Amino acid sequence: MSASSKYTRFLSAIALLGASVVLVTGCGNKEKGATQVVASVDGEEISVHQINALLSKARGVTPENLPKVKVEILGGLVDQQLAINLAMSKKLDRTPEVVAAIEAARREILARAALEQIASAQTKPSEEEAQRYFAEHPALFSERRIFNLQEIAIGKTVEGIDQIRAHAASVKSMEEMAAWLKDRKVEFSVNGGTRPAEQLPLEILPKLHAFKDGQIGLVETKEGYLIVRVVASRSQPVTEAQALSTIKVFLSNQRGAEAVKFAKDEMKAKAKILYFGEFAGGEATYKAKAEADSKAATEAAAQAKAKAKVDADALASQKAQEQAAAQAEKDARSKERADARAQSGKGSVAVTPDAVNLEKGIKGLK
């Protein structure tokens, strides 16, 4: 970074700091001092609290680039306020679409604030809890591996899963497995790549951790089933000292999520909730209807797909028959021409060398 660039950023930081200090302490304006205004756009104020709120969510902020980030945030807030002023001058805040969007944003902000308060009120995980989690999950830490995987994903509703599991344990390659599934009309998708242990779902990691390199097997997931081949893997363990801070964050988030779920269930149980229109009958009723509609749509799609396949097969068969008939007709005409040439050859008298000589001799006598 050039010296002039650093100096410019330094001046920007000093200017912002000076503006905050002046507005907090100077000019005898108590209102501006209380709000810590850093800019004004046509009379609409922008406060340092707005900058700090956005700064707390910014990524990659370091002591070195902090002044630049603040200036960029302030520039964005100024541009935003200009657009807001334009919208207000055109009375866009009164249009039904904007009113509805503002109300939706307000509802979301209030709901999120309430749930975040519940989550943040939970006790933080202790050092002992984090250490216990480390010891109970060796596949994530002390025995952590980086996996190179090949995957075949199958839906939850597949039939004959025990047969599929048995075959997966006996095949030599994923290509062989895919061909076997295709022959049995089982729908699947393929995937693959290199992933560390922490990027794998926790419900399948212990099972996959038991796989040896080259091994193929079937594991169950929340969405369905995975036929997995561990192409290769390498050990890359994480020490307890490295992992404890991350474990604490994870456990804290997990505890907060569980508290939020419990609070939601409790509020729903205590509240008087009524449903109307297409949702009349209650949550269980409309969920059952939604599931029935989804199942019917899936079955209709499967039937349409099957019919399309039957139609395509019938069309292909018809074309094949037409091509065979055309070829047979062509072969028959060719045979007729060959037979005609053969018959024509039988009716003619062949002229031999002796006959030619005899004719010449007769002509000589004459």
Does the structure show a pLDDT above 90 at 362?
Answer: no
Rounded Cα distance between 37 and 47, Å, is 4
* Highest-scoring range by mean pLDDT, 55-64, 137-146, 279-288, 310-319: 137-146
Split at pLDDT 50, 70, 90, the class of 358 is low
Does the structure show a pLDDT above 50 at 27?
Answer: no
Q: What is the pLDDT of residues 135-190, one digit of tens each?
A: 999 999 999 999 999 999 999 888 899 999 999 999 999 999 999 999 998 999 99
173 backbone φψ class: left, alpha, beta (φ>0; ψ -120 to 50) = beta
pLDDT of residue 280: 83
**Higher pLDDT, residue 233 or 356:** 233
pLDDT of residue 8: 37
pLDDT of residue 4: 40
pLDDT of residue 211: 95
pLDDT of residue 297: 86
pLDDT of residue 258: 96
Does the structure show a pLDDT above 60 at 303?
Answer: yes
For 67, the token pair is 């002044």
**Higher pLDDT, residue 18 or 275:** 275
Q: How far apart are the first and last CA of the chain?
A: 123
Q: What is the pLDDT of residues 37-83, one digit of tens each?
A: 999 999 999 999 999 999 999 999 999 999 999 999 999 999 999 99
Does the structure show a pLDDT above 70 at 249?
Answer: yes
For 15, the token pair is 């200017």
The answer to whether 198 touches 207, Cβ cutoff 8 Å, is no
Least confident of 32-36, 126-130, 266-270: 32-36
pLDDT of residue 291: 80
Q: Angle 87-90-95 (CA atoms, 0-180°, nearest 5)?
A: 80
Rounded Cα distance between 332 and 324, Å, is 12
Does the structure show a pLDDT above 70 at 332?
Answer: yes
* Average pLDDT estimate for 114-131: 96
Does the structure show a pLDDT above 60 at 344?
Answer: yes
Kindly tell me the burial class for residue 226, based on how many C-beta atoms sit within 10 Å of its own C-beta (0-12, 13-18, 19 or more): buried
Share of the chain above pLDDT 90, in %: 61
Split at pLDDT 50, 70, 90, the class of 2 is very low
Q: What is the pLDDT of residues 214-229, one digit of tens each?
A: 999 999 998 899 999 9
**Higher pLDDT, residue 270 or 337:** 270
Does the structure show a pLDDT above 50 at 204?
Answer: yes
Q: What is the value of pTM for the model shown? A: 0.61
Closest CA to 71 of 85, 58, 86: 58
pLDDT of residue 345: 67
Q: Where are the domains of the chain?
A: 3-94, 148-231, 277-327
The architecture (CATH level 2) of 148-231 comes to Roll (3.10)
Rounded Cα distance between 150 and 209, Å, is 15
Rounded Cα distance between 177 and 213, Å, is 17
Does the structure show a pLDDT above 70 at 350?
Answer: no
Q: Is 28 helix (H, G, I), strand (E, B) or coil?
A: coil
* Average pLDDT estimate for 85-90: 96
What DSSP designation does 199 have?
A: G
What's the mean pLDDT when you consider all of the chain?
A: 85
What DSSP designation does 203 have?
A: T
